Amino acid sequence: MRNSYASTLFLLCFQPALPQDSVERLIFQLGYEDFEIQGQAANALEGMGPKILDTLRKTAEDTNKKQDVRDWCNRIARKIQANEKRYQVLLERLSSTDDETKESAEKEIITIGRPAIPYLLDSLKSDNKNLRKRARNILEVIGSEKEVRKWLADFQFEDGSVTDGFRFGFRKIPEKSLLDKGNPVLAALKWLARHQNPDGSWGACSFSNQCHGPRCPGTGDPEFDAGVTALSVLAFLGAGYSHLSKDEFLGSEKSGPLRFGDTVRNGLKWLMARQDPEGCVGGRGTKYMYNHAIAALALTEAYGMSATPLLKGSAQASIDFLIKAQNPDRAWRYTKQSGDNDTSITGWVIMALKSAEMADLKVDTKDCYEKAGKWFDEVSDPGNTMRVGYNGRASGKVFVPGKNEDFEHHEAMTAVGVLCRIFMTKDKKHPALDGIQLLVSDLPTSKSGRVDSYYWHYGTQAIYQFDGPEGELWQKWNEAFKRAVLTNQKGALEACAYGSWTSEDDRWGFEGGRVYTTAINALTLETPYRYPRVLK
């Protein structure tokens, strides 16, 4: 059998220099004797669409060209013409007012993939707002970061964005080190992948069954297994790894190679399998809304990043349940319409609803936000720099007796309130955003008794959204956060624990255990890459 690699190398070394123009170069490659190169060139030409039809036709009629090249050009031209009719029908369906028709067309175009790109780009010029929006969303699924930025550079969209308003941003953590500590996010994700249970979940206690050598300490409460599973999935999604990812990393002797796409897929399958007929995920224990709200966030972002139709039903049902669970005229707490409200669960819900908006799921956020806004008004203290309470104004330190009363109090609820106000109002002058000053006066630190990953998570998001990557407040907070979080991450000498964070010295680590602290810290490190900024 002929060696394809050797043949290709010969052609590259001894064929005359190729023309610089990409179309002419690809047509030239149609004359190669290597079938693989011919096929790749033909696919690339087909992907250029109708704009190269004239060039293909002229080449097919040029008797100075090799017969093989002329035949190829004829075939490609005919295929492009056939595609034009097919895509015209699909785009008409995509602009339909019927949801089922639109979703069916979207699924088919995503399956077609890259050959549909020229037609989607033409659709961005359409007068039909819905067609432009759906074409843009499909391009984000099909293309790479670099391609999408190039494609959309000349288009201004209804939300005021040009290249930085994509549904879930370009979630790719740079390989460049943070504070010369290697890639802490990748290390954390590898730890999570190695400690995923065989059924796809992460256990607040059972994670240690996957350890190699001495077991990693730091167990939590199994009641929160659904929550830490969802939080772990979010950590992968936040770094750009969905269930479609093909990346593979070196694992341990026990785990074997780590395929992050499989890790996310198995986690999502576990969550979906634990969704009841009403849409609630994770069972209904005493505080099940924590589990469900985080699971809804994970399912919604997984769908939003991939547009996978199989995820849409579960994501929509999870959001529908959140809306049903809201207390009349106020917010959320531990169970559906319990009559009580708290800022903590409400924060997770608002993030899930925000992601649902971005993923184009059906959700009346206006009504939900108005009700939640009343709650934040009720628990915000105008006389104390808009400090936000937990279950009432001036609620003070929140703790569980016998568990974490010795930890220092932080402005975690104020951070939740600021972030939610930003997402709900998009108003940088809203009085509640004065609470940002309380956050920057309480910077992250790794000192004993002051570690609070939950506070760091919301504070980092709130300040990034408020101040942006170049802002003075953000620079001050981010430097303190990186020092604190990277100081505590386990290094390579820690064997199985490498990449994780201990839960024993974290204020809320007793609930979610080591999986919680590792997932939420990774997610917080991903903040600048997760969402486009709301405030400009």
402-449 tens-digit pLDDT: 999 999 999 999 999 999 999 999 999 999 999 999 999 999 999 999
Instruction: Tell me, yes or no, whether 348 lies in a domain.
Output: yes
Cross-strand partners of 258 = 249
Q: Which residue, 152, 151, 172, is CA-closest to 162?
A: 152
Contact 363, 356 (CB under 8 A): yes
Instruction: Tell me, yes or no, whether 255 lies in a domain.
Output: yes
Query: Are residues 188 and 100 located together in one domain of the fold?
Result: no
Instruction: Tell me, yes or no, whether 375 lies in a domain.
Output: yes
Q: Which residue, 531, 523, 518, is CA-closest to 194?
A: 518
Query: Are residues 133 and 214 located together in one domain of the fold?
Result: no
Instruction: Tell me, yes or no, whether 193 lies in a domain.
Output: yes
Number of folded domains in the chain?
2
Query: Are residues 202 and 248 located together in one domain of the fold?
Result: yes
Dist. CA 171–CA 245, nearest whole Å? 12
Query: Are residues 148 and 208 located together in one domain of the fold?
Result: no
Query: Are residues 141 and 267 located together in one domain of the fold?
Result: no
Contact 185, 239 (CB under 8 A): yes
CATH number, domain with residue 294: 1.50.10.20
Query: Are residues 90 and 211 located together in one domain of the fold?
Result: no
pLDDT at 96: 87
Query: Are residues 256 and 362 located together in one domain of the fold?
Result: yes
pLDDT at 170: 54
Dist. CA 511–CA 500, nearest whole Å? 16
Instruction: Tell me, yes or no, whether 173 lies in a domain.
Output: no
Which of residues 103, 132, 152 is at a domain's end?
A: 152
Instruction: Tell me, yes or no, whether 166 lies in a domain.
Output: no
Helix (H) or strand (E) holding 381: strand 380-381
pLDDT at 1: 35
Which structural domain range is residue 290 located in?
A: 184-530
Percentage, residues of the chain above pLDDT 70: 89
Query: Are residues 454 and 348 located together in one domain of the fold?
Result: yes
Instruction: Tell me, yes or no, whether 257 lies in a domain.
Output: yes
Contact 514, 501 (CB under 8 A): yes
Which of residues 107, 129, 152 is at a domain's end?
A: 152
pLDDT at 15: 37
Query: Are residues 206 and 137 located together in one domain of the fold?
Result: no
Contact 496, 211 (CB under 8 A): yes
* pLDDT one-digit tens code per residue, 338-348: 999 999 999 99
Which of residues 152, 169, 201 is at a domain's end?
A: 152
Stretches in the chain below the pLDDT threshold 50:
1-20, 156-166, 176-180
Query: Are residues 458 and 387 located together in one domain of the fold?
Result: yes
Q: For the packed helices 309-325 and 343-358, what is the interaxial angle rounded to 10 degrees?
A: 140
Query: Are residues 129 and 239 located together in one domain of the fold?
Result: no
